Copies of this chain bind each other. A is one copy, B any other.
Amino acid sequence: MEREPSTQRWSMDEEDVSGDVRMVPHGRSLLSSSMVGSANRGRVLQTLFDLGPTSRAELARLAGVNRTTISGIVQPLLDQQVLVEGEPIRPSEAGGKPARPLWFSPDARPICGMMLMPDAVHTCLVTLAGTLSAEHSVRFPDNPKIADIERAIERCTSRTLASARREPLGIGVAVGGMVDTDRRAIIAVNLAPVMNGFELGDMLARRYGLPALLDHHPRALLVGDRWFGKGRGMQNFAAVYTGEVLGGALYLGGHLYRGRSGAGGELGHTFVQVDGEICSCGRRGCWETIATVGWLRRQARAIGIDAPDEINSRRLVALAGAGAPGARDLLDLYARNVAVGIANLQQTVAPNFYVLHGDVVGGGEIMAEAIAGHVRALVPSRSGGEISFAIGETEDRAALLGAAGLVLSELLQFPL
């Protein structure tokens, strides 16, 4: 019954804060026994995330392994207070020793989530159970220099980190712009070009001695959904963000999909209308030209809807419900425009499940159902089964959870 305390740790390599966060196999490297340890630990934690509080025996059954294996994996995590044992749950009628469900300890090391937008920075702490705290935000001054932005980020982050009772596992950043995930730097933020080339990851790592991960906003939304939201437990799904711009991200085969240095998922600029309307990117017929609130505003103006500059999914659904002339048709057309791109995605990688983010969230179930109906009509049948949809968290919360999710993905998804 006595156990030696283990020396195993659950964290990223802290010696290597500024370098490559992952000291992992990739390319042609082989596996070793110690990697099996890390990988299995990650998988057990992942199952726990997906299922909620679960006993060792149950975990062993689901994984198809021996109970002792789970005990061996889980015990060090209990010692480090990553996990805690919950109250015993009553056994079934068959009797037996009551199971002690395992769950993430509120005293576990938190994750720092950051959302970096062109005009402001938001930070918070996220527990492994998915609760937010210590939210702070700092707006940038007008026409900021990069030093102003650095200062704002540092002030915001420091406030949040001051609330952490234990050292955070890392800092995840959702960036409203293009990101080089390998270099952990910002490539371009359209509305704030001063940030272009900003090596935010290295700055945070140096300043706070924590691993820092960047990714662009839609991808953060996806991992947020995966660990804390509607994508929980999914092996394949996509997140689609609509708003002023259009973005998306893919979770394929149980892994966040990133193309080379973070390319891929630039769905807004796929063609759906060769030689169609001109897009902000200079090309013609991008999906973005027909499935953003910009398009919605133009159409609303054209058919004479009240206050067309303030139209969005929420108002459109309300107007359609109230029977405003043309609103119902416009809603249907907007939904179809969004659906066209999703149908293409379905035909291409068949994730079969979509979490909707951004503007359409305001439209609620009515908007989601309208989109879903069109997608199902646009995709030939028997292309891999049912297609389902979910509505994401509200905007800021989704992005902050997602930012934290970036760190979790790195910790849990030992890339074999």
Q: Which residues of A contact B (CB under 8 A)?
A: 27-33, 36, 39-40, 43-44, 46-47, 50, 62-65, 69, 178, 187, 235-236, 250, 252-253, 255, 257, 259-267, 269-274, 276, 281, 283, 290, 340, 343-345, 347-352, 378, 380, 382-385, 416
Given contacts A269-B380, A271-B378, contact A43 B28 (CB under 8 A): yes
Q: Are A263 and B29 in contact (CB under 8 A)?
A: no
A242 to chain B, nearest CB (A): 16
- Among B264, B273, B347, point to the contact of A267 (Cβ < 8 A): B347
List 10 interface pairs A-B (beta carbons < 8 Å), by A numbering.
A28-B63, A31-B36, A31-B43, A259-B350, A260-B384, A270-B347, A272-B273, A281-B380, A349-B349, A416-B416
Q: Are B348 and A265 in contact (CB under 8 A)?
A: yes
User: How many Å lie between the Cα of A213 and that of B274 in the bound state?
Assistant: 38
- Among B250, B265, B274, point to the contact of A273 (Cβ < 8 A): B274
A178 closest partner in B (C-beta): B382
Known contacts A263-B383, A271-B343, A348-B348; can you find 18 more A-B pairs with CB under 8 A?
A: A28-B47, A28-B50, A28-B63, A29-B65, A30-B39, A32-B65, A39-B416, A187-B382, A253-B253, A257-B349, A260-B352, A261-B384, A264-B348, A265-B349, A266-B347, A274-B290, A344-B344, A345-B348
A70 closest partner in B (C-beta): B30
7 smallest CB-CB distances across A and B, nearest first, come from A263-B384, A259-B350, A263-B350, A264-B350, A260-B384, A270-B344, A416-B416
A287 to chain B, nearest CB (A): 9
- Give the number of copies in the complex: 2
List residues of chain B with CB within 8 A of the CB of A44: 30
A336 closest partner in B (C-beta): B274
A250 closest partner in B (C-beta): B349
User: How many Å lie between the Cα of A350 and that of B261 in the bound state?
Assistant: 10
- Among B31, B62, B263, B269, point to the contact of A40 (Cβ < 8 A): B31
A224 to chain B, nearest CB (A): 21
List residues of chain B with CB within 8 A of the CB of A283: 378, 380
List residues of chain B with CB within 8 A of the CB of A63: 28-30
Q: Are A384 and B271 in contact (CB under 8 A)?
A: no
A286 to chain B, nearest CB (A): 9
